[in-house]
Amino acid sequence: MAGRNPRLPALHRDLHLDAWPFYVKIGLFLAIAIVSVVPTLAFIRWRRMFDHDPAWKVPPAEQARMKRLILVELHLGALIPLVAVIMSRGLGR
């Protein structure tokens, strides 16, 4: 216990809170979470429609919109490791 530095957690916290990549990474996580709400609700609605009527098909326009939103999520998710590398290299300080 005598060898531990009690200030170390505060220094570590300041290291991340002063760097812009930290906020970009948090923003990417939030953006992905917000964008994923629409496809999730659509999938639930589609499943209910299909359970009610097995002949039901997803409208092509709605299917294209969900594909586009999932593609946006995928691209945003691909940026997270890039920002993590920037953070680990100390380039954002």
Q: What is the pLDDT of residues 67-90, one digit of tens each?
A: 999 999 999 999 999 999 998 888
In a domain, 4, yes or no: no
Q: Are 40 and 3 in contact (CB under 8 A)?
A: no
In a domain, 46, yes or no: yes
In a domain, 2, yes or no: no
| Residue 6 phi, psi (nearest 5) | -65, -15
Q: In the chain, pLDDT over 70 holds for what percent of residues?
A: 83
What is d(CA 15, CA 4) in angstroms, rounded to the nearest whole number? 19
In a domain, 7, yes or no: no
Closest CA to 37 of 81, 82, 72: 72
pLDDT at residue 20 greater than cutoff 90: no
Looking at residue 4, its pLDDT comes to 57
Q: In the chain, pLDDT over 90 holds for what percent of residues?
A: 67
What is d(CA 35, CA 40) in angstroms, rounded to the nearest whole number? 9
Tell which wins on pLDDT, 13 or 37.
37
In a domain, 10, yes or no: no
> What's the domain range around 85?
16-89
In a domain, 6, yes or no: no
Task: Please tell me the total count of domains within the chain.
Answer: 1
Per DSSP, helices labelled H in the chain are 8-17, 20-35, 37-52, 60-89
> How does pLDDT run across 45-63, given as a tens digit for each residue?
999 999 999 999 999 999 9
